[in-house]
Amino acid sequence: MERVDFLNRVIDDGIAEITTEYTRDDQLHKKEGGIKGFEECRGKTDDQLMVMLAEAKEITNELRMDNDGRYWYFVMRERQIEWVINVLSAKNYLKGKPTMVIPTAKGALKAGMILGRFNANGPLTQVA
């Protein structure tokens, strides 16, 4: 699977999940921030994603200290950028390539599911 197709799948699946999970009116800012984070990842290189994450963390930290009302919008934006990096790193790890970060087990499961190597019950094929 090409990187761009994999990246778009991570983003599309993430947006679908956020849309179904954050349905209450009081969660709108979280949903919008999460969707924004995913959409900003489209078409980005690994280096661009890492820069985006660093910038997102700075914004979140600044808002935390200021008790800004937009805090959760930016937290969700940051978390989704981080998730995309996690899953991309897991894909690279599963393929024996360098990673951007150490992927989590959840990131590896998601990458394996997209690659057709895992489903929710475990491995479908041997991972090389």
Count of C-beta atoms within a 10 Å radius of residue 59: 17
Q: What pLDDT, on a 0 to 100 scale, did the predictor assign at position 124?
A: 53
CA distance 3 to 11: 12
pLDDT for 38? 98
Instruction: Tell me what pLDDT residue 120 has.
Output: 62
User: Cβ distance 4 to 43 under 8 Å?
Assistant: yes
Domain ranges of the chain: 3-116
Chain-centroid distance, C-alpha 117: 19
Q: What is the pTM of this model?
A: 0.89
User: Which pLDDT belongs to residue 119?
Assistant: 63
d(CA 90, CA 106): 9
Looking at residue 66, its pLDDT comes to: 72
pLDDT given for residue 122 in this prediction? 60
pLDDT one-digit tens code per residue, 69-127: 689 999 999 999 999 999 999 999 988 999 999 999 999 999 999 998 766 666 555 44
pLDDT digits 0-9 by tens, 6-62: 999 999 999 999 999 999 999 999 999 999 999 999 999 999 999 999 999 999 998
pLDDT for res 123:
57
Q: What Cα–Cα distance (Å) separates residue 68 from each residue in 17, 23, 36, 78, 114?
A: 26, 23, 18, 16, 37
The residue written with tokens 């394996």 in the block is: 112
| Residue-level pLDDT at 127 | 47
81/45 Cα distance (integer angstroms) = 12
Neighbouring residues of 80: CB distance < 8 A, sequence distance ≥ 6: 14, 18, 33, 34, 35, 36, 37, 38, 41
